[in-house]
Structure 1
Amino acid sequence: MPLFSDYVIYVDESGDHDLTSINEDFPLFVLAFCIFKKSDYVREIVPAIQEFKFRWFGHDMVILHEREIRKQQTPFKFLQNQENRQKFMDELSAIIQGANVTLIASVIDKRSLTRRYASPDNPYHIGLQFCMERTHSFLLEQGQGGKIAHCMFERRGAKEDNILELEFRRIKDRGNYNRINMEELDICFADKRANSSGLQLADLFARPIGLGVLRSGQPNRTREIISEKFRRSPTGKTSGWGLKIFP
């Protein structure tokens, strides 16, 4: 029987990896790895999200999607009321703030990437390597060597998933900066309809991380809360440890 890690990782992205037509409003590709200790996830985070859903919707089948919340689309149309929106966002922010999660993210500036390299690599693959390397280091720091930690990705389609899995396994099998075998990392896919608290939190994190880079001088409560979750160096440094901006 394999030895499983005390941690599980949920992954989501914001933006796309297309380099031929770059959206100037959001010219970034963001990949977020949200690392949870399983005991915290099961006992605290999942119940908090379930209670939140029952309180606001009467059931727990609603999927918390950042885009639908931001655009106040069904089933979030009630957020068009300012009072409802303020209370809803305050409660959701409190859950995020209270969540014991370590965040590792990569932000790829596609404009800079295309200017610097004649034939740039796929932004998704670049970001994936950065996040896998730092996640692997975090797990070793937590004494998780030799224990399998699952990285949970949302399914995007058979072709895309196969390409992603091949790249994940290439990086894992010495295709990384230190040329080491990251035997502790494994990949799993979940259906888009899967009601996973971890995947929903990762979805809520990804875009604000990108906006924090794109509009660094603009204050934003959600981004400030999220920034406290990044993995840090022993001296408290975030850059290069929990957040990798490239190029």
Structure 2
Amino acid sequence: MAEFSDYIVYVDESGDHSLTSIDPDFPVFSLSFCIVKKDDYTRAVVPSVQALKFKYWGHDAVVLHEHEIRKSKGDFTWLLTDRARRKEFYEDLNQIMVDAPITIIASVIDKLKLTARYPRPWNPYELALHFCMERLLMFLTSMGQQGKRVHVVFECRGKVEDAELELTFRRIVGGANQWGWVSRDFSVMEFEPKFAKKSVNSTGLQLADLTARPIAIKTLRPEQPNRAYDVILTKLGQIKEFP
């Protein structure tokens, strides 16, 4: 078995990848890879997120979920009633993202443009995943991770969906390429997908969750003020918009 990589990758998405039923108000699909060095993750990232949870809830069982935060639902209903504490919370959360030693690689698919341009368009998830995986390979190679075992962590979506995603993932790292560009040699590292339920309360998956939608919104409505994206921008290794 190969030596474990110094880095770990957390993945989340925003929007759906269906091309048969496209929401006109949100016709994009965004995939975000959050890459972090394991030493930084254990020494800085996790402690900062845990401290935030203890400060605002008194425990660390809460899961930071972008949708619930934005809608003030579940553990975040108090954001509706306590404006001063809401402001403080967002400032603290933004500071965590500013301080987090992470690199983000993202891909955004405009599904309306994709279907208009191609008579038989590619699956948005596969297209986004292939781009992000190639850029991940380039990043890790630049960090001297050749020959090491890299875990890429996805949030569970369902037994069938996870099986399909794992198959697509293994095809990509196995060199399969249906899009006509030169595929990179993934064999220089050992990429391993892992699937985790939200209930495991993974700090890395929560950070990835906080990045995917702001990136999608920036692509969809570039003139709209987007403080979260402004923070994310300092972490972006690369973003690709299709088509």
Q: Scaled by the length of structure 1, what TM-score is found?
A: 0.93
In 1, the alpha carbon distance for the partners of 2:103 and 2:26 equals 25
Residue 178 of structure 1, CA deviation: 3.3
Match of 1:155 in 2: 156
2:9 counterpart of 1:3: no
2:193 counterpart of 1:192: no
User: After TM superposition, what 4+ stretches of structure 1 lie above 4 angstroms from structure 2?
Assistant: none
Task: Answer whether contact 2:49 2:203 (CA < 8 A) is retained.
Answer: yes
Q: Which runs of 5+ in 2 are unaligned?
A: none
Q: Deviations over 1:161-210 (max 9, x none)?
A: 11000000001011244334413222111112111000000000000000
2:231 to 216, 225, 236: 225
Match of 2:118 in 1: 117
Residue 122 of structure 1, CA deviation: 1.2
In 2, the alpha carbon distance for the partners of 1:156 and 1:220 equals 28
Q: Deviations over 1:37-57 (max 9, x none)?
A: 000000000000001000100
2:112 counterpart of 1:108: no
- Counterpart secondary structure, 1:193: helix
After the TM superposition, which of the residue ranges 22-31 and 172-181 deviates more from structure 2? 172-181
Q: Aligned AA for 1:197?
A: T
In 2, the alpha carbon distance for the partners of 1:131 and 1:67 equals 23
Match of 2:53 in 1: 53
Residue 82 of structure 1, CA deviation: 2.0
In 2, the alpha carbon distance for the partners of 1:194 and 1:170 equals 27
In 2, the alpha carbon distance for the partners of 1:124 and 1:134 equals 15
Residue 215 of structure 1, CA deviation: 1.3
Whose helix proportion is higher, 1 or 2? Answer: 2
Q: Aligned AA for 2:216?
A: G
Over the matched positions of the two proteins, sequence identity in percent amounts to 52
RMSD of Structure 2 on Structure 1 (CA)? 1.0
- Counterpart secondary structure, 2:61: coil
Residue 221 of structure 1, CA deviation: 1.5
Q: Aligned AA for 2:230?
A: E
Q: Which runs of 5+ in 1 are unaligned?
A: 232-241
Q: Aligned AA for 1:178?
A: V
Match of 1:72 in 2: 72
1:1-247 equivalences in 2 (<5 Å): 1-80=1-80, 81-176=82-177, 177-183=181-187, 184=189, 185-231=191-237, 242-247=238-243
In 2, the alpha carbon distance for the partners of 1:10 and 1:64 equals 14
- Counterpart secondary structure, 1:55: helix
In 2, the alpha carbon distance for the partners of 1:215 and 1:180 equals 33
Q: Deviations over 1:19-61 (max 9, x none)?
A: 1111122110000000000000000000000010001000000
Residue 88 of structure 1, CA deviation: 0.7
Q: Scaled by the length of structure 2, what TM-score is found?
A: 0.95
In 1, the alpha carbon distance for the partners of 2:206 and 2:110 equals 24
Q: How many residues align?
A: 237
